[in-house]
């Protein structure tokens, strides 16, 4: 999969799922964010910089996540995320393909944090004066047909993530402090899903966590998140399955169970259309970048 490049093109553009043009490419663009109609996920490291205006509020991994003016945020976008509120007027985005991210050889603590669904978000006070210019330059370099410019930009993006990690590892993620009642109710359901998606869950269980009737709870959830509870739950399970396939040597059947899928057939039915390949193929493609030692002696079926 490859992402089409957007540079300075759109003032109404945010975190799109775009068709890719060639494998293992980094892309960047900037524009004015708009609210996302539904949560989505993609296998990239996503990096945001709020350059102008106010704050972006994501629903991310069971919690609201604020990215304020001057802040740089980095997260694994396989975790379901959705821009739920926004007052930023100009934001820069960079996508780093999953294989590229794994191939950087980042510290285990950093990789574990990101793959476990905990983002890195710098405080505005920790912003680098060079950030706005760098994001613009990276987007231009990624759009260039000169391989050397691609390589330079890739090295600089990696260095920025390493610097961000130096100030963020061990620190909690920045959390939303507002008090919108509807958002709070939905947040309670999203948080319950994030904490219990590995277990058997019903709509009634999730509604009961916020003390609402299931029908009303589901209507509120769809109104705010613009998708069903079942689809949202499946997204969390797929993110966990990706993580386990890349970072553990669990057999695929055990990955399905550990991620919360009730059967292997349901796991395959959900995984292959979203990820573009069966679980064993996904493991073979990405496992070497994350843990080369586990590839030795691997069976042909990806177990």
Condensed to tens digits (0 to 9), the pLDDT of residues 46-71 reads: 999 999 999 999 888 767 888 999 99
What's the confidence (pLDDT) of residue 189?
87
| Percent with pLDDT over 70 in the chain | 81
What's the confidence (pLDDT) of residue 17?
37
174-221 tens-digit pLDDT: 444 455 677 678 878 887 888 899 999 999 999 999 999 999 999 988
Domain residue extents for the chain: 27-168, 181-295
Choosing among 1.10.10.60, 3.30.70.360, 1.20.1540.10, 3.30.2320.80, the CATH entry for 181-295 is 1.10.10.60
- Is the pLDDT at 18 greater than 90? The verdict is no
What's the confidence (pLDDT) of residue 59?
84
What's the confidence (pLDDT) of residue 166?
85
Specify the 3-state DSSP secondary structure of 269. helix
**213: phi then psi, degrees, rounded to nearest 5:** -65, 140
What's the confidence (pLDDT) of residue 223?
79
- Say if residue 243 is exposed, middle or buried (CB neighbours under 10 Å; 0-12, 13-18, 19+): buried
- Is the pLDDT at 10 greater than 60? The verdict is no
What's the confidence (pLDDT) of residue 187?
74
Q: How far apart are CA 18 and CA 38, in angstroms?
A: 15
What's the confidence (pLDDT) of residue 149?
94
CA dihedral 235, 237, 242, 247 (to 10 degrees): 150
Q: Comparing 23 with 281, which gets the higher pLDDT?
A: 281
What's the confidence (pLDDT) of residue 289?
59
- Is the pLDDT at 143 greater than 80? The verdict is yes
Domain 27-168, what architecture? Sandwich (2.60)
Q: How far apart are CA 112 and CA 254, in angstroms?
A: 20
**Cβ neighbours of residue 15 under 8 Å, at least 6 residues apart?**
33, 36, 40, 46, 81, 83, 93
**31: phi then psi, degrees, rounded to nearest 5:** 170, -170
Tell me if the pTM is above 0.85. Answer: no
249-272 tens-digit pLDDT: 999 999 999 999 999 999 999 999
């Amino acid at each position: 999969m490859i992402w089409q490049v957007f540079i300075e093109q759109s003032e109404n553009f945010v975190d799109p799922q775009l068709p890719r043009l060639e494998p293992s490419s980094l892309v960047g663009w900037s524009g004015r964010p708009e609210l996302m109609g539904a949560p989505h996920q993609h296998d990239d490291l996503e990096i945001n910089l709020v350059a102008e205006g106010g704050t972006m509020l994501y629903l991310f991994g069971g919690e609201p996540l604020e990215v304020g003016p001057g802040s740089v945020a980095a997260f694994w976008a396989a975790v379901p995320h959705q821009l739920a509120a926004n007052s930023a007027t100009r934001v820069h985005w960079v996508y780093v393909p999953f294989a590229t991210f794994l191939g950087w050889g980042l510290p285990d603590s950093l990789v574990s944090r990101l793959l476990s669904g905990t983002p890195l978000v710098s405080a505005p006070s920790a912003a680098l004066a060079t950030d706005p210019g760098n994001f613009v330059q990276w987007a231009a370099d990624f759009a260039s047909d000169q391989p050397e410019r691609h390589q330079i930009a890739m090295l600089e993006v990696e260095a920025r993530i390493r610097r961000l990690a130096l100030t963020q590892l061990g620190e909690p993620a920045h959390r939303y402090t507002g008090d919108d009642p509807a958002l709070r109710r939905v947040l309670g359901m999203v948080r319950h899903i994030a904490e219990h998606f590995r277990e058997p869950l019903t709509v009634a269980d999730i509604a009961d966590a916020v003390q609402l009737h299931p029908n009303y709870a589901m209507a509120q959830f769809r109104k705010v998140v613009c998708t069903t509870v079942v689809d949202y739950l499946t997204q969390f399970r797929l993110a966990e399955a990706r993580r386990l396939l890349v970072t553990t040597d669990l057999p695929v059947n055990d990955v399905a169970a550990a991620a919360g899928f009730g059967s292997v057939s349901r796991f395959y039915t959900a995984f292959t259309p979203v990820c573009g390949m069966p679980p064993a193929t996904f493991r073979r493609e990405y496992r070497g970048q994350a843990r080369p030692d586990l590839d030795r002696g691997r069976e042909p079926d990806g177990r």
